[in-house]
Amino acid sequence: MREFKGRIIAPGCVTAEAVVSHGGLNTLASFQKALQFGDKTATCGDQNNKDLYGKQMAGKALCLPQTIGSTTGGLVLYCACSMGRQPACMLFSKPIDSLAAAGAILADVWLESSSMPVIDSLGEEFLDYVKDGMSVTVKDDGVVVVE
């Protein structure tokens, strides 16, 4: 078990199973099937992300370095939250980009029924330690416990 301290972008507490990407998450490519075709498990559709392609993201602790790709990234995250297809939390090893932050913050502020805690700046050690299937707990003070 290890603890990592990050910066809170969207608050909340949750425990979920980890799914890990060591490359950037192309938000639009990853969530397109969930948003357009009704995939309630939010199976990652980004063929360029070898770590996540074909894996369920909804309800998982999505551990990643950063998001990449289109300027629609924030809107995609907000829409995934509004449809109940969001990860249980998003945990960034690096500082979050402004688009992903906007989507997470807007979902937190505008949506009452949806929660997706987001923590960034957890460090490279976090991404080196966490593996698919591990249990990840996000605490309200920005501490992330990985078991």
What CATH code is carried by the domain that includes residue 8? 3.50.30.10
Q: Which residues is 38 bridged to in the sheet?
A: none
Residue of 64, 89, 61, 72 whose CA lies nearest to 29? 72
Percent of the chain with pLDDT over 90: 93
How confident is the model over 68-97, as a mean pLDDT?
95
Q: How many CB atoms lie within 10 A of CB 128?
A: 10
Say how many domains are in the chain: 1
CB atoms within 10 A of CB 109: 9
Residue 113 confidence class, pLDDT cut points 50, 70, 90: confident
Cα gap 51→72, rounded to integer Å: 22
What integer pLDDT is reported at residue 102 of this predicted model? 96
pLDDT at 112 over 90: no
Whole-number pLDDT of residue 70: 82
- Alpha-carbon distance 53 to 22, whole Å? 12
Range of the domain at 60: 2-146
Is 133 exposed, middle or buried (CB count within 10 Å of its CB: 0-12, 13-18, 19+)?
exposed
Confidence band for 114, pLDDT divided at 50, 70 and 90: confident
